[in-house]
């Protein structure tokens, strides 16, 4: 096995372990933190607008809803995605968000973005502005599409500046059923606070992408986020993302 195959195998095995870590009894996620755990619902809407074969825009709106179905915070984002060395191997299906399928044609992606986060129910006064840069490398390993993403965040929380590094390993496996395609996926993302010089947490996620209409796909998933070195409780969430692309 050459170096390239070894990298593919390691990334795929890591992503397969995500579901076990998230869903297994006790699990590594449960052992990583000893603080309080908060149940949440994470609704999200993503809108992709193609600009050219090598660029697109992504607009996002998402929230975290806690006890009594009251939203804790809302986040809004805009991103510019730039692709390197595009190829045309996998064609989008008639049903679903084409951008999610077309991503498999782009082994390299640079994302530049902005996020604005604000509290909703008055339980917090933290308002955050964040600039980000992300670079993703994607592989195809026996039909599984695996990506590793390295990210840097420049954050201003109530005017206080900090920086953060994130590393995400993601894998999906498309399953064709006649002319329909559903896609199970799993991922893990680690957070490192560069300002404090310490790991800040980890998030595990496993779910499935379900095309519903032309240009529209929903994703349903389970997630757990462990927060370290902070009074913020860990989160266990059910997520629902609606993706539109044109």
> Where exactly are the structural domains of the chain?
3-245
Beta-carbon contacts of residue 225 (< 8 Å; ≥ 6 apart): 201, 202, 203, 204, 234, 235, 237
Instruction: Provide mean pLDDT across the span 89-95.
Output: 71
Residue 5: its pLDDT value, please?
A: 45
pLDDT tens digits, 5-20: 444 444 444 444 444 4
Q: Tell me: pLDDT of 24 over 70.
A: no
Q: Which among 225, 32, 2, 12 is positioned nearest to 139, based on CA atoms?
A: 12
Pick the more confident residue, 13 or 133.
133
pLDDT of residue 11: 47
> Strands 37-52 and 234-245, how do they pair?
parallel
Q: What is the 3-state secondary structure (H, E, C) of 74-108?
A: EEEEEEEEEEECCCCCCCCCCCECHHHHHHHHCCE
Q: Domain 3-245 class?
A: mainly beta
Q: Give 53's pLDDT tier (boundaries 50, 70, 90).
A: confident
Average pLDDT over residues 118-144: 85
This prediction's pTM: 0.81
- Judge whether residue 152 has pLDDT over 60: yes
């Amino acid at each position: 096995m050459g170096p390239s195959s070894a990298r593919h195998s390691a990334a795929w095995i890591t992503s397969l372990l995500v579901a076990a870590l998230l869903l297994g009894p006790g699990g590594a996620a449960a052992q990583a933190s000893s603080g309080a755990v908060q149940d949440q619902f994470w609704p999200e809407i993503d809108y992709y607008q193609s600009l050219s074969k090598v660029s697109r825009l992504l607009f996002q709106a998402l929230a975290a809803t806690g006890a009594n179905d009251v939203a804790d915070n809302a986040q809004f984002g805009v991103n510019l995605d730039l692709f390197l060395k595009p190829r045309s191997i996998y064609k989008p299906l008639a049903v679903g968000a084409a951008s999610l399928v077309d991503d498999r044609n782009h082994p390299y992606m640079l994302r530049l973005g902005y996020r604005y986060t604000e509290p909703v129910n008055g339980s917090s006064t933290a308002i955050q502005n964040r600039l980000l840069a992300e670079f993703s490398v994607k592989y195809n390993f026996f039909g599984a599409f695996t990506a590793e993403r390295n990210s840097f965040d420049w954050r201003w929380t109530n005017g206080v500046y900090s920086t953060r590094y994130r590393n995400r390993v993601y894998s999906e496996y498309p399953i064709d059923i006649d002319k329909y395609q559903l896609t199970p996926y799993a991922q893990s993302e680690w957070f490192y606070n560069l300002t404090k010089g310490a790991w800040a947490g980890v998030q595990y996620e496993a779910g499935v992408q379900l095309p519903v209409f032309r240009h529209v796909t929903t994703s349903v998933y389970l997630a757990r986020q462990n927060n370290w070195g902070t009074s913020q409780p860990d989160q266990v969430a059910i997520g629902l993302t609606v993706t539109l692309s044109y």
